[in-house]
Amino acid sequence: MFGPMKDLAGKTAVVTGAASGLGLAFANQFAKDGMNVVMSDIEQPRLDEAVAQVETHGTRVVGIITDVSDGDSMDALAAATFEAFESVNVLCNNAGVAGGLTTEGIDSANWKWVLDVNLFGVVHGHRVFLPHMVEHGDGHIVNTASMAGHFPGHSAYTASKWAVVGITMGLLNEMRQNDTGVGVSCLCPGWVDTQIANSDRNIPEWAAPAALVEPTEEQEFRMQFLKDVLAAGKTPESVAQMVRDAIVNDSFWIFTHPEMVDQLAAKHASIMENRNPEPFSLLD
Ligand SMILES: NC(=O)c1ccc[n+]([C@@H]2O[C@H](COP(=O)([O-])OP(=O)(O)OC[C@H]3O[C@@H](n4cnc5c(N)ncnc54)[C@H](O)[C@@H]3O)[C@@H](O)[C@H]2O)c1
């Protein structure tokens, strides 16, 4: 049986969605802890700027343009990673996009985009890095889910994040049953001050709504509300410290907002008592 990864210095981390927000903060934190970092993202030149920033901590940093939703692109990320470094010890499957927040105005192509990035990005990450980590036994995977992965929401985002929570719990079981020594954490952030409300900057043409319609007043209000709560949210740097601590302490759940965890009690109570759930929205 392997123990948790107590010492990060000299080891290698791969972070997806590393050009912005949480991913960039993870990369900075890992480099400060003496780790070499592979930073991957779909967005250039933002990734180049992010790499230059993380390099200032003095470890080796490599930036690789990757589309996590594309299996071939993820194969290429793994190949480039193993060309640069012998081993991968930490993998953060973090890249994600918001998509539409309710079913109105979101079509099937948009749903596919969100699931391809948020869910299949994680699936591909496991596929291309997990066998290596299991072989070496000294690794830890952090999947970025969301509090949206615990609460109802009629959107592709909610579907993708419930799926990430489920497969991450499943991965933990497998890693333990097979005594692989690979640790697993499920990051469930509440509101964090990042660029997630501007995810559409990375939308592929095939997934963009065919006819751009003016948002309704209600939609504009909700979007502004989302931007306001994000701006007032936790800093990505504070969440990066939680992620680092979870890796060295081998903790599975990473909840950034304890008050939101308290709200889960009502959901669990309705299940235990076989009652219809109370109406609930993270955006109310
Ligand atoms: N910010 C929050 O409040 C919050 C809350 C819960 C969960 N999350 C999750 O945190 C993760 C990081 O998002 P963030 O909040 O830092 O937002 P962000 O927009 O600041 O960063 C996301 C990064 O992912 C990249 N990306 C988008 N599509 C990609 C693709 N196909 N391939 C590779 N990279 C891609 C973007 O270019 C960007 O650099 C996401 O999974 C998001 O769902 C965020």
State yes or no: is 157 an active-site residue: yes
Cα dihedral: 273, 257, 20, 30 (round 10):
-110
Nearest CA to ligand 1 atom 43: 96
In a domain, 3, yes or no: no
Residue 277 domain-assigned?
A: no
Yes or no: say if 197 and 227 are a contact pair by the CB < 8 Å rule: yes
3-state DSSP call for residue 220?
helix
CA distance 123 to 68: 9
Q: Which of 30, 120, 157, 162 is catalytic?
A: 157
Domain membership of residue 63 (yes or no) is: yes
For the chain, list residues with pLDDT below 70.
Answer: 1-3, 101-106, 209-213, 282-284
Q: Identify the domain containing residue 77 by its residue range.
A: 12-272
Helices of type H across 56-201: 71-84, 108-118, 120-136, 156-177
Q: Residue 187 CA: which ligand 1 atom is closest? A: 7
| C-alpha 259 – ligand 1 centre gap (Å) | 23
CA–centroid distance, residue 17 to ligand 1 (Å): 6
In angstroms, what is the C-alpha Rg of the chain?
Answer: 19
- The token pair at 88 is 């991968």
Task: Provide the whole-model pTM.
Answer: 0.96
Please tell me the predicted confidence (pLDDT) of residue 6.
80
Does the residue 280 lie in any domain?
no
Tell me the three state secondary structure of residue 40: strand
Q: What angle do CA 271, 275, 279 make, to 5 degrees?
A: 90
Residue 42: predicted pLDDT: 98
Question: Do the domain assignments include residue 187?
Answer: yes
Ligand 1 center–CA 84 separation, angstroms: 25
Cβ proximity of 282 and 147 under 8 Å: yes
- Tell me how many domains the chain contains: 1
Per-residue model confidence (pLDDT) at position 1:
45
Q: Is 7 within the bounds of a domain? A: no
Please report whether residue 172 resides in a domain. yes
What pLDDT was estimated at residue 104? 64
- 278 belongs to a structural domain: no
pLDDT in tens, 130-157: 999 999 988 999 999 999 999 998 889 9
Q: Identify the CATH number of the domain in which residue 212 sits.
A: 3.40.50.720
> Residue 162: what pLDDT?
98
- Closest CA to ligand 1's atom 8: 146
Residue 102 confidence (pLDDT): 65
